[in-house]
Chain A
């Protein structure tokens, strides 16, 4: 799936400028890692990509459809092709692992076809295959909240397989995991994505993981691009600058945080 972002800007109602003229594109099958400190606009970008937030201006074209202007219906059909992996897994905890994987079908086929009770034989079989691919077929009947964090994230990957997504948006997929489980989840995610030829956009805070897995690194700073190059062409200095300089965004944020206090102090 081809993704093109052009002059994307997002201003929240409280005046926060989260994205400021962001432009880049991702070709089908590419694996891109996004880096940046907290508050640089990564999460806003991810929310715009899933349609949870509407950008203020600019274009965000996914396979010919502009997400910034899509109707509810267009958005829903587009979302069916977008797989999401979240930092906090977002499984329905008191349902079985199999049921959570089957929910991947819900967007395309509706509630009945994705419910473990009423799903077709083929769907149940496909869900078991997806679970087998992530190495958790033996836990299919378990309650999902009894699994470890790493296992739950693998269930999320199985759900994405079930969804048959074409582009994967992963928002800090390993931030809640220990280093070993994090490494394993990243390896699994990347190998699954390669098998299916999916496009990946992954936000990471672990620079080593970003270097190991991303073919291309995008640095975000104050809602604009700091760099956008193949991983080999990124030096340590680039990354140090990304994280350690006082950016205008930070100054802005500080000012916003302080100003109500200052106002209160003056009053």
Chain B
């Protein structure tokens, strides 16, 4: 035993990193340090920040509910933007997902094109879509709805198509064996089997859309974001806090309801 431990020494505590790992580590450190210094972080600045925060909350407290009717209507508009956008997004996601899924796509080439379209829709952030649509259709909720439609397709079509690819081929084959057409097999066996998962994904995208609809208002695409940016620009922090609180209530409410429905469906 002791002889053995003489002949085999323990491996070193630290191993020499491979060249690639070393370069990556160096690059990461460089980005981190330059990022940290360019943020210009000083203790006195942080301290001033804390004091400013205190001023903000001091002026914001108590929240001003004078304009509650306007805020409520704006909040309702935000919620409606999210719902309308997601409904259209989900409806458009279904055919897109069928084109993207290996087992339902009519041709591999169609599949590649469809997947790339969906990937593009997903890669462009919703705020950028909103900016584009504000240019296209002008200020207001329509631009926000269109941005949410794009964002929803990018998200839902991808998850829908992944679910379709996992479907059990048996029931579909059974329908095909009775002489059913391709569309019959898709509507009769594949889509029903995927429905619970589709509903869960759609509910997630409602939550996502409500959150993004709040922010879309900041670039003028309708909803409560407009109220928030106006209150902040006018230094009416007490009104801004009311807006923030109402956003909090609605977002948490939507998440609770969607979690409850999801539990029922699956």
Instruction: Report which A residues bind B (CB closer than 8 A).
Output: 50, 52, 76-84, 86, 88-95, 103-104, 106-108, 110-111, 114-115, 156, 159, 163
Do B179 and A79 touch across chains, with their CB atoms under 8 A apart?
A: yes
User: Which of A50, A94, A103 is packed against the most chain B CB atoms within 10 Å?
Assistant: A103
Chain B interface size, as a band, is 20 to 34
A87 — nearest CB in chain B belongs to which residue? B170
CA–CA, A82 and B178, complex, Å: 7
B191 — nearest CB in chain A belongs to which residue? A92
Residues of A within 8 A of B188 (CB): 92, 103, 106, 111, 114-115
Instruction: Report which B residues bind A (CB closer than 8 A).
Output: 170-171, 173-181, 183-184, 187-189, 192-193, 195-196
Do A88 and B192 touch across chains, with their CB atoms under 8 A apart?
A: no
Residues of B within 8 A of A82 (CB): 177-179
Q: Given A106-B179, A111-B184, 5 other A-B contacts at CB below 8 A?
A: A52-B176, A76-B181, A78-B179, A92-B171, A111-B188
Task: Tell me the smallest distance from the CB of A75 to a CB of chain B, in Å.
Answer: 8
Task: Tell me the smallest distance from the CB of B139 to a CB of chain A, in Å.
Answer: 42
Residues of A within 8 A of B196 (CB): 94
Name 6 interchain pairs, CB-CB below 8 A, sorted by A.
A82-B178, A90-B173, A94-B192, A94-B193, A106-B178, A110-B184
The answer, among B170, B179, B183, for a CB contact under 8 Å with A90, is: B170
Number of A-B contacts (CB under 8 A): 74
Residues of A within 8 A of B177 (CB): 50, 52, 79, 82, 84
A102 — nearest CB in chain B belongs to which residue? B188
The answer, among B175, B187, B195, for a CB contact under 8 Å with A94, is: B195
Residues of A within 8 A of B189 (CB): 92
Known pairs A52-B173, A90-B170, A91-B171; A107 contacts B178 (CB<8 A): yes
Known pairs A95-B192, A114-B188; A107 contacts B179 (CB<8 A): yes
Task: Tell me the smallest distance from the CB of A21 to a CB of chain B, in Å.
Answer: 26
Residues of B within 8 A of A86 (CB): 170, 174
A156 — nearest CB in chain B belongs to which residue? B174
Residues of B within 8 A of A93 (CB): 171, 193
Task: Tell me the smallest distance from the CB of B183 to a CB of chain A, in Å.
Answer: 7
Residues of B within 8 A of A114 (CB): 184, 188
